[in-house]
């Protein structure tokens, strides 16, 4: 029988220390505001101009949040609508997760995971999304070793929330009604 950590094989101890270090780094609060400064290129890049959809295409968004979010104009319109309701954090989190999944470098993935956690998941985060404690706990566990699927459960919960709550309000908005004319 094992008595305390001293009885564990050497590799188990090393692994436990490694996990503790990774979690500690991820959950660490920034020492100062300087940690929040995001470097910007000298000349800001202009995003490609999104083409306004046809009324028929915009009509499809009524029944498919996925189609809405995949269309650059639809996403921009939806985000503007959410901003007007002071609830854009859900769409921003969804977009951040999509970007995160495309990350190949493990170092960059860990950096992005920490940023997403600090901005959207952590209690009292600046743009905290509304997820249940179980989803938050699973997400935190997934971040011990970040992978492309680390935020999947939380992203699915936020997608469902937007689909059930935000999309119906967007479809009733004047802006959307103008798009389908």
Residues 130-153 pLDDT 10s: 999 999 999 999 999 999 999 999
Give the per-residue pLDDT at 95.
Answer: 97
Residue 19 reports pLDDT greater than 90: no
| Residue 47 · residue 172 · CB < 8 Å | no
Residue 30 CA to residue 19 CA, distance in Å, equals 20
Residue 16 reports pLDDT greater than 70: no
| Residue 82 · residue 91 · CB < 8 Å | yes
Give the per-residue pLDDT at 109.
Answer: 96
| Residue 120 · residue 80 · CB < 8 Å | no
Give the per-residue pLDDT at 15.
Answer: 61
Angle formed at CA 23 by CA 155 and CA 138, multiple of 5 degrees: 35
Of 74 and 19, the one with more pLDDT = 74
Domains of the chain with CATH codes: 55-178 (1.10.167.10)
Tell me the whole-structure pTM to 2 decimals: 0.71
For the residues 46-72, what does the mean pLDDT come to? 86
In this predicted structure, which of 38-42, 54-58, 94-98 has the lowest mean pLDDT? 38-42
CA nearest to 171, candidates 72, 90, 86, 59: 59
As a whole number of Å, the end-to-end CA separation of the chain is: 74
Residue 3 reports pLDDT greater than 60: no
């Amino acid at each position: 029988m094992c008595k305390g950590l001293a009885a564990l094989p050497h590799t188990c101890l090393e692994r436990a220390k490694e996990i503790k270090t990774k979690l500690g780094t991820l959950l660490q609060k920034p020492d100062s505001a300087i940690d929040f400064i995001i470097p910007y290129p000298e000349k800001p890049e202009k995003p490609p101009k999104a083409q306004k959809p046809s009324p028929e295409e915009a009509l499809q968004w009524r029944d498919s949040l996925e189609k809405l979010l995949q269309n650059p104009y639809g996403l921009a319109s939806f985000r503007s609508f959410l901003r007007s309701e002071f609830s854009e954090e859900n769409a921003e989190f969804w977009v951040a997760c999509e970007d995160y999944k495309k990350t190949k470098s493990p170092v960059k993935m860990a950096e992005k995971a920490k940023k997403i956690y600090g901005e959207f998941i952590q209690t009292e985060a600046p743009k905290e999304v509304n997820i249940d404690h179980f989803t938050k706990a699973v997400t935190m566990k997934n971040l011990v070793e970040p992978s492309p699927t680390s935020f999947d459960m939380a992203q699915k919960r936020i997608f469902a929330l937007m689909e059930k709550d935000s999309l119906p309000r967007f479809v009733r908005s004047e802006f959307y009604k103008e798009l389908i004319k």
